[in-house]
Amino acid sequence: MGFIEQKTFRSKNDTDVLIRNGGADDADEIIGINKSVLEEKFFMLREPSEATYTTESMAKEIIRHIEKEGSLYIVSEVNGKVTGYLEFQNGFFKRTSHSGMFSMFILKEFRETGIGSMLLETLLEWAENNPLTEKVTLAVFSTNVRAQNLYRKYGFMEEGRCPRDMKLDDGTYIDSVLMYKFVK
């Protein structure tokens, strides 16, 4: 079970940002973030037509993270609105339970304000104190240089690439970049 003490940070545009545990009651706002990012067509594996979110299924997903040891689900909130989230989950098997992967999504209008750093710092602090987690990993599109720079800023290193991992509608390919950081 992953829980954090909620914290308030100050964004680059001088706004209070609350980082807190996500809950089932955040499901609709999380769905809204996912749909918004999907419409950009740059940062998610799914195409908009492949996304079939329901409040019930999203709430169950969040609860699964809350209940599973080595998992974390946190959100950023500005003026009562969920503006981003980060989900982390350790491996399911004994041999991989020391290592976990995260995903992070932020509404476009709240990017470049420091929210990504706030969510990532909170994850890393939690992971360093979580007895199960030793390695934090992620996969990022090779075209998402801004995200890769953020991860490098926090000590993540490139572990490898999956060449031509995704094929876009126009026939072009994008590699996946695998990154990691040991927290212990």
The pLDDT of 47-53, averaged and rounded, is 75
Structural domains of the chain ordered from first start: 7-134 (3.40.630.30)
Closest Cα partner for 8 from 103, 102, 79? 79
Helix and strand element counts for the chain (H, E): 4, 8
Q: How far is CA 33 from CA 29, 86, 107, 135, 159, in A?
A: 6, 11, 6, 27, 28
- Asked whether the beta carbons of 156 and 138 are under 8 A apart, the reply is yes
Mean pLDDT of the chain: 94
Closest Cα partner for 141 from 104, 87, 181? 104
Q: Among 51-55, 65-69, 98-102, 106-110, which stretch is predicted with the lowest mean pLDDT? A: 51-55
CA distance 59 to 26: 8
Q: What is the pLDDT, as a whole number, of residue 52?
A: 81
DSSP state of 57: H
pLDDT, tens digit, 9 for 90 and up, residues 124-183: 999 999 999 999 999 999 999 999 999 999 999 999 999 999 988 889 999 999 999 999
- Asked whether the beta carbons of 112 and 26 are under 8 A apart, the reply is no
pLDDT, tens digit, 9 for 90 and up, residues 12-49: 999 999 999 999 999 999 999 998 988 886 666 677 66
Q: What is the pLDDT, as a whole number, of residue 141?
A: 93
pLDDT band at 116 (very low <50, low <70, confident <90, very high): very high
Inform me whether the pLDDT recorded for 58 exceeds 90.
Answer: yes
Closest Cα partner for 89 from 171, 1, 162, 173? 1
Closest Cα partner for 43 from 121, 142, 129? 142
